[in-house]
Amino acid sequence: MVKHVVFAVPGSLDTPTGGYAYDRRIIAELRQLGWDVECLDLGKGFPSPNETTRTAARSLLLEVPIGRPIVLDGLALGVIPDIAAELAGRNPLVALVHHPLALEWGLSADRANVLRGSEQAALAAVHEVVVTSPATARLVAVDYGVAVEHITVARPGSDPVPQSLRSQSEVPHLLSVGAVVPRKGFDVLIAALARLADLPWRLTIAGDLTRDPNEAARLQASISQHGLTGRIEALGVVSAKRLAVLYSEADLFVLASRFEGYGMAYAEALSHGLPVIGTNAGAIPDTVPQEAGVLVTAGDVTALAEALRNVISDVDLRRRLSDAALVAARMLPTWRQSGAIFAGALGKLA
C-alpha cells in the first residue's frame, strides 16, 4: 500500500540554507522508501508572514485530504498555532523543528517571548515532533513541554566525499559556510581575524548575502574597516560543485555561530577531514567532538582569536584535528539512515 504524506514548507525548497537542504534530502529518502510525498509551498515571509500569506497557507493546508499526514516545517509552524490546532482534528501532524524560532539571534526580548509562546502552542497541537539533534530534543522537551516519547531525533545525513587536498600553499586557507545573518557570528569572526594580521591566512565565506542585506553590508564594512579586503572574500551563494571545491582546497573550517540546531556545515567540514573551529552553542558539541575541533564560547572574540592563532600556526595540530575529523565523520549517519528514522516518526502516527 502506498503511503502518502504532505511536506509543508515556507517558500521554495531550493532556498540555499541548511534547513531547506535537510528538507530536500529527507523528502528524497522518503520517496526512495516508498512514500508518496507531496510538497506544499506555504508562501514567503515566514516566520513573519503577512495576513495574506497566512490566509493562503491556511487554505492550502485545509485542502489536504482528511487523514493524510502533514509534516510542517517549524519555520512556518511556529507562527501558525491557530491553524495547527484547526488541522489537528483532521490530519496527523508532524512538526519538523530545525531550531526554536525564539533562539534566532538579534530578536528583541518581546519578539522572542512572542515567538516562544506561539511555538509552544503550535507544538502542543501536533502529534509527533522531529528534531535534528539531541540538543534540540532537550530544548523542545524542557523549554516547550513536548513529551519525550513524541520526539524523534533524525540528524542530517552525510554523503561520502573526498578528503580535502588542502590549499597547497604556505598561506592557510580558511573556509566559512553559512548565510550572512547575525546568528552565524561573522561579526565575531572578522573581529577575531583582525587580531591576527601578523599571521599568514586568507578566508573565503560561502553563504547567502541576500537573506539580511543590513548584515551583509555590516560584514563588508567590517572587512574594509579592519583593512582585510585583500584577505577575505565573501562569495555569496555558490553551486554545490563550487562548494565541494572550496571544501577540498581549504586548510581549516571556521564558523562562529551564536546558535545551531544542528549545523550541517560543521558536519560537512568533518566529512572532508577539515579541522574545525567553532563555538559550543546549541547542537555544535553534539556534532564536533573535542578531538576534531576547537570550540569556544559564542561571541567571545578573544577566545576565537586565540583558537585561530593556535590552529593556523601549528601544522601538526591541524593534522591531528584533521585525522580526528575523519574518524568523527565515519560516525555520522547516512542520509538513508536519517530518512529511515524520519519514516519511523511518520509510522508512529498510525
Q: Would you say residue 1 has pLDDT above 70? A: no
Q: Is 316 exposed, middle or buried (0-12, 13-18, 19+ CB in 10 A)?
A: exposed
Confidence of residue 167 (pLDDT cuts 50, 70, 90): low
Does 115 score more than 80 pLDDT?
yes
Residues 25-50: what's their mean pLDDT? 96
| N- to C-terminal Cα separation, the chain | 14
- The per-residue pLDDT for 16 is 84
Which 8-state DSSP code applies to residue 163? P
Residue 37 bridge partners (DSSP):
5
Digit-coded pLDDT (tens) for 78-99: 999 999 999 999 999 999 999 8
CA-to-CA distance for 153 and 140, rounded, in angstroms? Answer: 11
What mean pLDDT comes out for the span 218-235?
A: 96
Average of per-residue pLDDT across 321-325: 94
What confidence score (pLDDT) does residue 170 get?
84
According to DSSP, residue 256 is labeled -
Asked whether the predicted pLDDT for residue 168 surpasses 70, the reply is no
Name the band, by pLDDT with cuts 50, 70 and 90, for residue 37: very high
Classify burial at 195, counting beta carbons within 10 Å of its beta carbon; exposed 0-12, middle 13-18, buried 19 or more.
Answer: middle
Q: How confident is the model at residue 35 (pLDDT cuts 50, 70, 90)?
A: very high
Interatomic CA distance for residues 248 and 207, integer angstroms: 17
- Average pLDDT value for residue range 316-334: 93
The DSSP element (H or E) to which 174 belongs, if any, is: strand 173-177
| SS3 (DSSP) at 322 | helix
- pLDDT tens-digit map of 331-341: 999 999 999 99
Read off the C-alpha cell for 343: 519514516
Contact 128, 345 (CB under 8 A): yes
201 within 8 A of 174, measured Cβ to Cβ: yes
What was the pLDDT predicted at 160? 79
Looking at residues 244-263, what average pLDDT do you find?
94
What pLDDT is attached to residue 159? 83
- The amino acid occupying position 101 is L
How does the average pLDDT of the chain come out, rounded? 94
Measured distance CA(54)–CA(125) in Å, rounded: 17
Per-residue pLDDT of 188-221, as tens digits, reads 999 999 999 999 999 999 999 999 999 999 999 9
Looking up cell 574594509 gives 224
User: In sequence order, what DSSP letters do the residues of 203-245 get, joined into one string?
Assistant: EEEES-SSS-HHHHHHHHHHHHHTT-TTTEEEEES--HHHHHH
Q: What is the mean pLDDT of residues 159-176?
A: 80
Give mean pLDDT, residues 173-186: 96
Would you say residue 164 has pLDDT above 70? no
**Where residue 346 falls among pLDDT bands split at 50, 70, 90?**
very high
**pLDDT, position 97:** 97
84-91, long-range: CB within 8 Å, 24+ apart, which pairs? 84/121, 84/122, 84/125, 84/126, 85/121, 85/125, 86/58, 86/62, 87/61, 87/62, 87/125, 88/125, 88/126, 88/127, 90/66, 91/64, 91/66, 91/67
How does DSSP classify residue 331?
T
In three-state secondary structure terms, 40 is strand
- What would you report as the CA-atom Rg of the chain, rounded to the nearest whole angstrom? 21
Domains of the chain: 3-157+333-347 (3.40.50.2000), 173-329 (3.40.50.2000)
Q: Burial, 140: exposed, middle or buried (Cβ in 10 Å; 0-12, 13-18, 19+)?
A: buried
| Contact residues for 134 (Cβ-Cβ < 8 A; gap 6+) | 153, 283, 286
Residue 163 has pLDDT above 80, yes or no: no
CA torsion through residues 59, 60, 64, 70, sign: negative
